[in-house]
Amino acid sequence: MMSRQAFLCSLGSLYLSLLFVFLLMDVYARPANNSALKEKLVDTKDENEILPPDHLNGVKMEMDGHLNKEFHQEVFLGKEMEEFEEDSEPRKNRKKLMVIFSKVDVNNDKKISAKEMQRWIMEKTDEHFQEAVEENKMHFRAVDPDGDGHVSWDEYKVKFLASKGFNEKEIVEKIRNNEELKIDEETQEVLDNLKDRWYQADNPPPDLLLNEEEFLSFLHPEHSRGMLKFMVKEIIRDLDQDGDKRLTLSEFISLPVGTVENQQAQDIDDDWVKDRKKEFEEVIDANHDGIVTMEELEEYMDPMNEYNALNEAKQMIAVADENQNHHLELEEILKYSEYFTGSKLMDYARNVHEEF
């Protein structure tokens, strides 16, 4: 005989299956407008997923002008980033790192050269890009519920405002009747920025309709030349104090205008200033004339730039190259694993030795 609990349980799952069938029927009954179910699916995810992400993987600078602290890890681990973070078991991470090492070491001489690391960085950067393309497919479906392959600015605006808690139906109605939307100042500012970006992502003809590819460059400006320029312009605008559209070191080591309240905290944050100074002088200012131009910043931020990847490779090797042979051996990578992967693995090795 079935226990009472098991009976209730199967009754519950029967109910759920029926509910699901009804939901499906409801959707198929209205093929022209199946946005209801999709919205439900979207709601369960991050509410901001249709917004351009704040952080771009594999790009050296954040859109707010801060240096990307995890850049090394992103170009070394690729899409395995999360796996490394989530798995706190050092033994497993150590194994993963050894597997990565053997993959980077293409000629199998048990050491990684700058060329090998450069090739690896390019490969991992491409991995981040492919991930963005896949995610974009999903996000595009969410903003293009009727599936005609184009999203208008108004359609996107509605989705954006809905994600901010506005009533979607009301917004649609008001836009249709040309009524005022009554949006708070902060949201309006975000919306204005998004619209600028939307214009930039819209290739000719300028109809404010984005297809999937244009929408990708809207969400991920790092992989489109035009959008990269736009992103660089915005960063310079935020950091440039005298309005000459170029950055001096002192402009670069100040926080963006509008975050003045952080100035005091920043003054005492020596490391922050030191890191930025080093990056400005040694890397971004390519011709070392003390000025960073838009072109220099654009080159610096371009994730597909092979020259940058080689520089990065050399920098990564220099950090851990204890025996000074301009190559990385497995032991060196393990010792500096925190730099490459974000997790300490050498301490673990030492502990194991002590244990036995």
Interface residues toward Ca ion, by CB under 5 A? 105, 107, 109, 240, 242, 244, 285, 287, 289, 291, 321, 323, 325, 327
**Owner of token pair 């999360």:** 82
What is the distance of C-alpha 351 from the center of its chain? 35
Q: How far is the CB of 155 from Ca ion (least distance, A)?
A: 38
Cis peptide before 256 (omega within 30 of 0): no
Which CB atom, from 116 or from 144, has the smaller least distance to Ca ion?
Answer: 116
Q: How far is the CB of 32 from Ca ion (least distance, A)?
A: 53
3-class secondary structure per residue, 313-347? HHHHHHHHCCCCCCCEEHHHHHHCHHHHHCCCCHH
Q: How far is the CB of 264 from Ca ion (least distance, A)?
A: 23
Residue 339 half-sphere exposure toward CB, CA atoms < 13 A: 12
Which CB atom, from 74 or from 251, has the smaller least distance to Ca ion?
Answer: 251
Which CB atom, from 124 or from 327, has the smaller least distance to Ca ion?
Answer: 327
Dump the DSSP string for 47-79: TTTTSPPSS-TT-SB-TTS-B-TTHHHHHHHGG
By CB atoms closer than 10 A (0-12, 13-18, 19+), residue 348 is middle
Which CB atom, from 202 or from 329, has the smaller least distance to Ca ion?
Answer: 329
Q: How far is the CB of 81 from Ca ion (least distance, A)?
A: 23
The token pair at 231 is 């992103």
Which CB atom, from 105 or from 234, has the smaller least distance to Ca ion?
Answer: 105
Q: How far is the CB of 320 from Ca ion (least distance, A)?
A: 7
143 and 159 in contact (C-beta within 8 Å)?
Answer: yes
